[in-house]
Each structure stands twice: as C-alpha cells, then as structure tokens.
Amino acid sequence: MTSESKDGSKGSTADVAGPPIRSLQLGVYRVVTEVLPPLSLREQWKKASRVFPTFLRLVKDVYSLSPWLFFLWILAQIWDSSIEPTLSLHLSSRVLNIIETGLKSGSPDGAAISRAVALRMLCVVFSAVIDQWKDRLEYRLMDKVDLMFQRIILRGRFSRFRRPLPLTALLAKLATDLTGVQANLSGRVWERGGWYTFDASMDATWKIAGTIGQLVYISRNILSTEHGAIFALVFLVQPVLSSVFERDLFNQPHVAQANDPHFLRMRGLRALSEPKYRQDIITGDIVQHVIQGIIPESGAVLLIHLATRLARDLPMLYYAVNAIINPSGLSLAAIATLHQSESLLSWRFDTIFYRFRIVAAGISPVKEMYDQEHTVHQTEGGDLPYPPLGRPHEHGMPIELTNVSFSYPGTTAEALDNITLSIKPGQLVVVVGANGSGKSTIVKLLTRLYDATSGSITVDGADIQAYRLADLRHATAALTQDHHLYPLSLRENIGLGNPAHVQNMEMIQDAARQGAQRRAARRFWRKALEKMTKEADVSGGERQRLVAARTFMRFTSGAVKLVCVDEPSSNLDPDAEWQLFQNLRQARDGKTMIFVTHRFAHLTKHADVILCMNEGKIIEMGTHEELMERDGEYCKMFKIQAAAFEETAREE
Ligand SMILES: Nc1ncnc2c1ncn2[C@@H]1O[C@H](COP(=O)(O)OP(=O)(O)OP(=O)(O)O)[C@@H](O)[C@H]1O
C-alpha cells in the first residue's frame, strides 16, 4: 500500500499492529509516522474531551503553586491578548477619523488630534509597562511550574525506570521499521513541556477572545453590521483553509532516519571534530583526509500551499471590489484601519493555530507525566517483603535458577540457555567463560534488570518476581564497569552508597579506604575530599575505585545480602585489583557474592563454586580443585593465564 506525503513524495504503509503507520522519504530523511484520519470534528471533539481533565488539573496545579502570581499573570495576559489590541484599534481609528474629517473640512482640529494621539501613546506606554511586568511574572511562574514537573518526571523516571512511557512506546513502535534511528524520538516529553502547554493554552484562549472582540468592533464601528459580517467571513477563509490542509509533522509522533549516504558521511566526518576522536585523528594522521571529505549538504524542498497563501489577500480584494461597486461606502480612515487590523488579525490567527499545535502536542506528555505520578509508590513485582519476615538471612541470599533461558528484548538468540543452578547463602561464586557466553546476563537477571524469558529464579523459596522490588534492590549491591560517577562532589559520590549516612565522614573515609588500594589510599582520599566535580576530573582507575568505595559504603547499611561484581577492575593496576578483590572478600560476611571475571587467578581459589560458561550454557561447575582435576575448559583457561604470568615473571 502506498501513500503520498504533502510534498508529493511516495511512501508505504508499514505492516505493524496498532495505528496504521506510513513511511515517507523527505529530503535526506526517511520518516515513519502515524497515518492520520481525515479531519473530523467529531474525532477532534472526542480527542479534546479526553485531554480536558488533564488540562483542568494542569490549571489547578499551576494555580495552587501561587494563586496571586497566577491571577496577576492571567490579568496581564488578558490585557495583552484581549483588551489591548481592540483598544489600540479603537484609538488608532479615532486618530485617523479625526484627521480625515479635518482634511475633508479643510480645518483640522489640532487640539482634538493631539488629544487622540496622546491617548494612543498612553495606551502604548501602559502596554509596554504591563508587558514587562508580565514577563517578570511569567519567569517566576515558569520556574515554579518547571520545578513541579521536574519533580514529577524525576519521581516517575526512577519509579518506572524500566517501563517506557506510553508515548515513547508508540514512537519505539514507529521505529521498528527503521534501523539506527537518530532523530526526534521523543522531543515531546521534556521538562518544559508542562509550562509551554499551559502557557500556549492560556495564550490561545485570550487571543481567541481578543480576535472575537476585534471582529465585533470592526463590524459595529468601522463597517455596517452587514459589511462587518462579510469582512469577517472573507477574513476567516485563510485560517480555516490552513487549519484543514496544513497538517505537518510537528504535531504528530514521528521517527526520522537520515538515509542519504552523502549526508551520513558528511555527518560522520563532522562528528570527528569531537574531542574523543582527537587522539586517534592526530596519531592516525588523517586530518587532511577528514577535511577533504566534507561535501556540500543537500536539503529537503518545501512546497508552498498556494491556495492558502492566496486566501490571505482576500480582504484586500474585498476593499477593491467595494471601491468599484460602492465608492462612497468606505472612508480612507476605515480602509487604513481595516488594513492595519487585517494584518494584525492574520498574524494573530497564525499564533492561535501555532499555540493550539503546541497544546495538542504537549498535553499527552503532560497526561503521561501525571499518570506516572499515580504509580510512584507502587513497586514492580510482588508484595512479599525481603528478607522474608522472621528470616533475617544472616548468611546471605539463597538463590535457585531452574531451566532459565533468556533472550534480550528484540533479539531471538538465547543469551542464556536452560541454566539450572543452586547458590547457597553466603557462597562465593565465580563465573568465568569466553566473551559473550552469558556471564553478565546472569548478573542482570539476579539484579532484576531483566526477567527470565522462561524458567524460574527463586530467592529463598519464592519467585524473585514475587518480592517487592524496592526490598530486593535494597538487599542487592552491584559493582560493574558500567557505573558512572554522579555529577556531585566525590565525597557525596561515595556517601550516596548509604544515603542515610551521606554526611558521615568517618564511614565515607572508611569506604574510600576499602575502595582504594592501600598504598594509594591516602592520596586518593585527599583528592576525593578536595574535588567537587565531574567524571572528567578523575582517571578511569580512580573512577572504578570511587565506585567500589560507594559499594563498600552500601555494605554499611547492613541490608545487603547479595553482591554481584562484574569485571569492576578493567582499569585497575594488578596490585589495586588484587587489593579490591581482597577487600570485597573480607566484607563477604553475611552476603552471597557472585564475581564475573576474566582474570580469575586470585579469586577462583577462594570460590565455593566456579561456573564455567560457553554460549549461554554452564559447561562446568565445581571448585577450583574439582575443575582442575577434570582437565576441561576451566583448566585450559587457568593454565593459559598461569603460563602468561610465569612467562612475564621469567622475562622480568
Ligand atoms: N543489551 C543487549 N541486547 C542484545 N544482546 C545482548 C545485550 N547484552 C548482551 N547481549 C548478548 O547476549 C550474549 C551474552 O552477553 P553477556 O554480556 O552476558 O556475555 P559475557 O559473557 O558477560 O561477555 P563478556 O565476557 O564479553 O563481558 C552475547 O551474545 C551478547 O551479544
């Protein structure tokens, strides 16, 4: 099935369940978007009534943030959008009429003209003052609304980290048809969205009131009532046409993917100016190649909607026809006033439609934000508390995996294939194996970043999903190489391991010492105290030490019963790595510990059980001695590492 975009390009409707989706080629972009039904007032009304409660809630919330600020701002808006334009029109028309009468009679009334002009100037000055005042009120109100939404969004994000917003889900569905999507996935769920939606709806409301006021004024005072009605009709043709025909991507969910090879290459070359490529480009001596590769950009062409544009000149046609048919019907002052108000009204209609589009695009995300808020205190998973009541689990978390298989969302390959495994409380488990064999995936399932596709994982006899997620998170500590430093002071970065003691210097100091290698501890700790800063200020190894220190701080809560350590030491020197593992082992009392590692020499000898994995399966399981005796895959890997050590030692 094919469809055509408004610029005439052909597209095809994708075969995805749910709302019909079409795909278009627009310039260098391939765009996937929802097929909109033909404009139907009934549908529009239905849509509007669905979002109306959200809109009311939004107004109520903004009002409750600061009632007086709200009222003053609304008053300023009413003046600015509704009263001032009609008053200005009246005053200008008065000036022009007095001048025209004076010119016709040959004796202009200087005093009357001065009074009329002065009044008009007064109105301009008053408006300017109100305008400035409105801006100030607006900034204050906007800050409050932003803060309110940031709070809602943050709470929503953290409570529903793993579940995408419904809108984002729709966009993700649109994206299924594209690979490597780069553009405009969300853009609509943004922190300021709440404010802009509110502001746009208020502004549009008062502007509509102002426009009606102006049209009524024109009908009654400038034209006869009958002429006024014709003028209003003539004037409305253009906005109605543009609202019916000019439907663009702005107010629809869409996904765009650049697919023009020249454009993509140019974008890639441009990206090479980022600091992260600096070293490679300089040492690789490819600067000249990059500069020569830049080619001119091609762009999308927009077709102008002729009928809509021409309709803009209909009011002018109206004066012209009137001048021919009824030359005495319109005075020059009336034509000048009409002309002035016509361009003002036309700009105003554009603004009203633009504002409505902002409201239409913004109200659904606002609704989603509110919906998230309702779910803030719910936990995913079940209602069982952990540790189970009456069983504090002094030794650590007992875990059983039975026939567990897992495929990452959107893939069919099994990252884990029918794993069965029993881990006793307090055991130290070391997982080894080739790249991509599924080691990290086990950790991701145990920390509930994902749920198994089939099979079951039980914790203390109950399904892992039956426990309150918050309780499980509280009882689990994960230390991987993917952690980031928070954009806070280094001290706080460690302290947040146990938020209840984030100010406790003694505990933080102790955790920092455990996270750092003993010899480097003093220097490292001094640095942590001094720096108030970002990740860029610390080296890769220091970042890993800080993250490790945060984990040791976490242990101080006493609640941690499972520790998952996944290659946290890639940037540490051998001494620091050995010390870190040593410190972690010393802290193992009361905790089940699972280590994923490639450099296992100093760990596996202490392990209660070693899992050796390959292609998503556990191919060997046992203690170091048992697996060495078996002379299988583990033994082979161990010997390779040991031989490398011995060779290095001999060379030294
Ligand atoms: N987010 C993901 N989406 C899709 N597939 C993934 C994802 N993460 C991992 N995989 C795939 O799952 C399989 C197991 O990956 P996993 O990271 O568990 O391996 P690993 O044994 O930890 O590897 P390594 O030793 O390289 O860290 C691999 O084939 C990998 O490509």
List, by residue range, all CATH 1.20.1560 domains of the chain: 2-260+298-374
The residues lining ligand 1, judged by C-beta closer than 6 Å to any ligand atom, are 408, 411, 415, 433, 435-441
| Residue located nearest, by CA, to atom 31 of ligand 1 | 436
pLDDT greater than 90 at residue 429: yes
Q: How far is the CA of 597 from the centre of ligand 1 (A)?
A: 14
> Nearest residue CA, atom 6 of ligand 1?
408
Measured from the Cα of 596, ligand 1's closest atom is 22
Q: 534 or 470, which is more confident?
A: 470
Contact assessment for residue 250 and residue 354, using Cβ atoms and an 8 Å cutoff: no
Amino acid code (one letter) for 221: N
Candidates 426, 231, 244; CA nearest to 346 is: 231
Query: Residue type at 325?
Result: I
Distance from the alpha carbon of residue 89 to the mean position of ligand 1, in angstroms:
69
**Of 197-201, 317-321, 461-465, which range is least confident?**
317-321
CA–centroid distance, residue 149 to ligand 1 (Å) = 36
Q: What mean pLDDT is predicted for residues 246-271?
A: 71
- Cα(410) to ligand 1 centroid in Å equals 14
Kindly report the pTM of this predicted structure. Answer: 0.56
Residue whose Cα lies nearest atom 2 of ligand 1: it is 408
Question: Sorting pLDDT into bands at 50, 70 and 90, what band is 650?
Answer: low
- β pairing state of 609-614 and 592-596: unpaired
Distance from the alpha carbon of residue 384 to the mean position of ligand 1, in angstroms: 31
**Nearest-CA residue for atom 11 of ligand 1:** 415
**Which residue, by CA, sits nearest to atom 19 of ligand 1?**
436
CA of 415 to the centre of ligand 1 (A): 7
Give the number of other Cβ atoms within 10 Å of residue 342's Cβ: 21
User: In terms of Cα–Cα distance, which of 65, 74, 53 is closest to 148?
Assistant: 65
Closest atom of ligand 1 to 598 CA is: 25
**CATH 3.40.50.300-classified regions of the chain:** 399-651
For ligand 1, atom 20, the nearest C-alpha belongs to 436
Cα(544) to ligand 1 centroid in Å equals 21
Q: Is 157 helix (H, G, I), strand (E, B) or coil?
A: helix
Looking at residue 471, its pLDDT comes to: 85
Mean pLDDT value across the chain: 76
The rounded Å distance from CA 566 to ligand 1 centre is 12
DSSP state of 535: G
Region of poorest pLDDT, from 207-216, 426-435, 533-542: 533-542
The CATH code of the domain at 399-651 is 3.40.50.300
Rg, the chain, Cα only: 35
- Which one of 431, 439, 612, 633 would you pick to mutate in the ligand 1 pocket, going by the greatest count of ligand atoms within 8 A of its CB? 439
Confidence of residue 38 (pLDDT cuts 50, 70, 90): low
Closest CA to 341 of 260, 500, 222: 222
Q: Output the residue whose Cα is nearest ligand 1's atom 16.
A: 438
pLDDT at 89: 85
Selection from 459, 398, 406 nearest residue 617 by Cα: 406
- The predicted model gives 401-407 an average pLDDT of 94
Say how many Å lie between the CA of residue 408 and the centre of ligand 1.
Answer: 9
CA angle 148, 149, 151 (to 5 degrees): 70
The answer on pLDDT for 560 being more than 50 is yes
Q: pLDDT grade, residue 162 (50/70/90)?
A: very low
> Tell me: the pLDDT tens digits for 564-600?
988 876 667 777 778 888 888 888 888 999 999 887 7
Which residue owns the Cα nearest ligand 1 atom 27? 435
Instruction: For residue range 15-30, list pLDDT tens digits in order.
Output: 444 567 777 777 777 7
Question: What atom in ligand 1 is closest to the CA of residue 613?
Answer: 21
421-425's contacts with Cβ under 8 Å and 24+ in sequence apart are: 421/611, 421/618, 421/621, 423/398, 423/399, 423/592, 423/594, 423/609, 424/398, 424/592, 424/608, 425/393, 425/395, 425/396, 425/397, 425/398, 425/561, 425/592
**Distance between alpha carbon 588 and the CA centroid of its chain, in Å?**
39
Q: Select the more confidently predicted residue: 153 or 372.
A: 153
Number of residues written out for the chain: 652
Q: Tell me, in angstroms, the distance from the centre of ligand 1 to residue 443's CA.
A: 11
Determine the average pLDDT of the residues in 428-437: 92
The reported pLDDT for the residue numbered 247 is 56
CA of 416 to the centre of ligand 1 (A): 9
Whether 610 shows a pLDDT value over 90: the answer reads: yes
Distance of CA 288 to CAs 269, 272, 282, 285, 296, Å?
11, 12, 10, 8, 17
Torsions phi, psi for 270 (to 5 deg): -65, -40
Q: What pLDDT is attached to residue 518?
A: 58
Top mutation candidate among 407, 432, 437, 446 for ligand 1, by most atoms within 8 Å of CB: 437
192 or 139: which leads in pLDDT:
139
Q: Find the range with the poorest average confidence among 156-170, 239-253, 276-290, 393-407.
A: 156-170
Q: What is the ipTM of this complex?
A: 0.98
How does pLDDT run across 339-376, given as a tens digit for each residue? 777 777 777 777 887 888 778 777 777 777 777 665 54
Q: Which residue has the higher pLDDT, 371 or 409?
A: 409
- Nearest ligand 1 atom, CA 441: 18
217-231: average pLDDT: 71
CA angle 196-202-204, nearest 5°?
95
Asked if residue 182 has pLDDT above 50, the reply is no
What average pLDDT score do residues 458-468 get? 90
Asked if residue 435 has pLDDT above 80, the reply is yes
Best probe residue, ligand 1, of 432, 441, 594 (max atoms within 8 Å of C-beta)? 441
How many A from CA of 69 to the centre of ligand 1?
A: 54
pLDDT (0 to 100) of residue 366? 78
What pLDDT is attached to residue 400?
95
Q: What is the pLDDT of residues 489-539, one digit of tens each?
A: 778 888 888 888 888 888 888 888 887 755 555 666 666 555 545 444 667
Q: Is 185's pLDDT higher than 60? A: no
Nearest atom in ligand 1 to 411's CA: 4
Q: Report pLDDT for 103.
A: 81
Output the six-digit token pair for 192: 């300021």
User: Distance, CA 618 to ligand 1 centroid (Å)?
Assistant: 15
Highest mean pLDDT among 166-170, 331-335, 528-532, 548-552: 548-552
* In the chain, % of residues over pLDDT 70: 73
CATH code of 2-260+298-374, in short, is 1.20.1560
Q: Which of 162, 408, 446, 450 to mutate to test the pocket of ligand 1 (most atoms within 8 A of CB)?
A: 408
Q: Give the dihedral of Cα atoms 537, 539, 540, 542; nearest 10 deg.
A: -100
User: Span 439-462, mean pLDDT?
Assistant: 90
For atom 28 of ligand 1, which residue has the closest CA? Answer: 436
Q: Which two tokens stand for residue 547?
A: 């993250």
Task: Give CB contacts under 8 A, 24+ apart, made by 516-520.
Answer: 516/545, 516/549, 516/576, 517/545, 517/572, 517/573, 517/575, 517/576, 517/579, 517/580, 518/579, 519/575, 520/545, 520/576
Summarised one tens digit per residue, pLDDT across range 43-96 is 777 777 877 888 888 899 999 999 999 999 999 999 998 899 889 888 888 888
Going from the Cα of 619 to the center of ligand 1, the distance in angstroms, rounded, reads 17
CA distance 355 to 202: 9
What is the percentage of the chain residues whose pLDDT exceeds 90? 19
Pick the residue whose CA is nearest to atom 29 on ligand 1.
Answer: 436
- 162, 404, 414, 440, best to mutate for ligand 1 pocket (most atoms within 8 Å of CB): 440
